[in-house]
Amino acid sequence: MSTTISPKDTIQPVEASAEVKAVHQQMLRRQKLNRAATYGVAILIALWILVPIFLLGSMAFTTPEAVRTYPKGVLPFIPFSFETMNFFLQSEGIIPGLINSIIVAIITLVLSTLIAAPAGYATSRFLFPGRDFFRLSVLAVRAFPIVVLSIPLAVVFINLGMYDSVYSLALMHTALALPTTILVIGSVFASIPYELEEAAQVFGCTPFEAFRQVVLPLVLPGIAAAGVFTFVMSWNEVFAASILTVQNRTLPAQVLAVLGQSSEPYQFAGGFFMMIPALVFIFFIRRYLFNMWGQVSK
């Protein structure tokens, strides 16, 4: 074998042997097959998630008569109508519950972001003694279930005369949301290089200006995503809401309280109504979900 390769050798295409071609063909076929199989699996899983939602949606957007008929049909084979949903929304306690839910979720969102943002900034920008301990404690706190907190807080709120109020429920939801929010905001800040802030300071910004003009616009979408997640969490939370409120129930607490005595149109429309924020908001924050939960396994 010669050690020098003449230009001719490289230019002239070499006919691959039939054997090599066959292997190549086989690999291509296998890759195609794999791809098709992956699509198949992806579509199956998507159906597993979407079909139940569609079934419930069919019940929510039809007439109560169609809900009560057996065997049940699905849209578009049953009449499309807002009657069931209207019936649910006009039931006793639903509109007040909806308002309470939104109030609680918004207070929770604002409060948890205000408290968590500085902590998130501190853990991502400073190396200080106790930082790891702080982050570990936050992680540990997140591991505790809502169930454990609700009972003592209910007793405390009763003693303080703050029981059955949307504000005390929002305080509790903030406590639940805080650990996640701190970690997420921390990871959002960590994704912005400190050099950017430094550069802004070199160009004459004060540290605060550098933060406001350079960092804030970059982290805002991430913080907003964390806020949306907090909103959805508070909107969904049913255990603490049922324990801490009696008259001023939030929407899930109200639905749960009357679940046993309510009709199927009410239950199904209510179930679907509670899903709507998830369907809408998850779409916008799906990219950030990995920021939120990826943090844990880092």
Partner 1 sequence: MTDERSSPKTKKRKKINWAPYWLILPSLIYLALFFIWPMFRGLGLAVYNDEAALALQSEPSRDAATAGTLPQGTQVEILDQQGNLIPPEEAEQANLITEVWFQISAEDADGNPVEGYVSESRIRVREENEAGIPTAGSVRTRIGAGAGTLTDIYSEANENADVVGQLEARAEVAISGLEILEIWYQIRGEDNGQAVEGWAQSRYIQVFGETETGRIDRGNTGQFTTEYISRMVNDRFFWPATITTFLLMLLIIPVQFVLSIVMALVIQARLKGNSLFLYVFTIPLGISELAVGILWFSIFTQSGFINSFLQTTGLINTPITFLSADTRYWILIAIWLAEVWRATSIVMVIVVSGLQGISDEVLEAAELFGATLWQRVRHVILPMLKPSLQVALILRTILALQVFAVVIALSGGDVVTVLANETFRQYSDFRNANVAAAYAALILVISMFSAVVYLRMIRSQEEMAA
Interaction residues for partner 1, span 112-171 (CB under 8 A): 114-116, 118-119, 121-128, 130-132, 134, 136-141, 143-156, 171
Q: Considering only residues 16, 23, 50, 95, which one is a binding residue for partner 1 as defined by CB under 8 A?
A: 50
The first and second tokens of residue 271, run together, are 């179930």
Q: 103 or 238: whose CB is closer to partner 1?
A: 238
State how far the alpha carbon of 232 is from the alpha carbons of 228, 250, 271, 277, 279, in Å: 6, 13, 15, 7, 10
**Cβ distance to partner 1 smaller for residue 79 or 118:** 118
Interface with partner 1 includes 28 (CB under 8 A)? no
Question: Under the criterion CB under 8 A, does residue 286 sit at the interface with partner 1?
Answer: yes
Looking up tokens 């005369």 gives 161
Contacts of 218 (CB under 8 A, 6+ apart): 192, 196
Q: In the complex with partner 1, which residue's Cβ is closer, 9 or 196?
A: 196
Distances in whole angstroms, Cα of residue 16 to Cα of each of 13, 19, 20, 81: 9, 8, 6, 65
Q: Tell me whether residue 83 or residue 189 sits nearer to partner 1 (CB atom).
A: 189
When asked if residue 193 is in the footprint of partner 1 (CB under 8 A), the reply is yes
Residue type, 80: F
Binding to partner 1, residues 243-262 (CB under 8 A) = 243, 252, 255-256, 259-260
Considering only residues 226 to 245 of the shown chain, the ones binding partner 1 according to CB under 8 A are 229, 232, 235-239, 242-243
For residue 164, what are its two tokens? 């059955």
The residue (of 1 and 93) whose beta carbon lies closer to partner 1 is 93
- Contact status, residue 143 vs residue 207, Cβ threshold 8 Å: no
Q: Choose one: 8-16, 65-73, 86-94, 215-223; the region binding partner 1 (CB under 8 A).
A: 65-73
Residue with tokens 């003694």, as numbered in its chain: 129
Q: Are 53 and 75 in contact (CB under 8 A)?
A: no
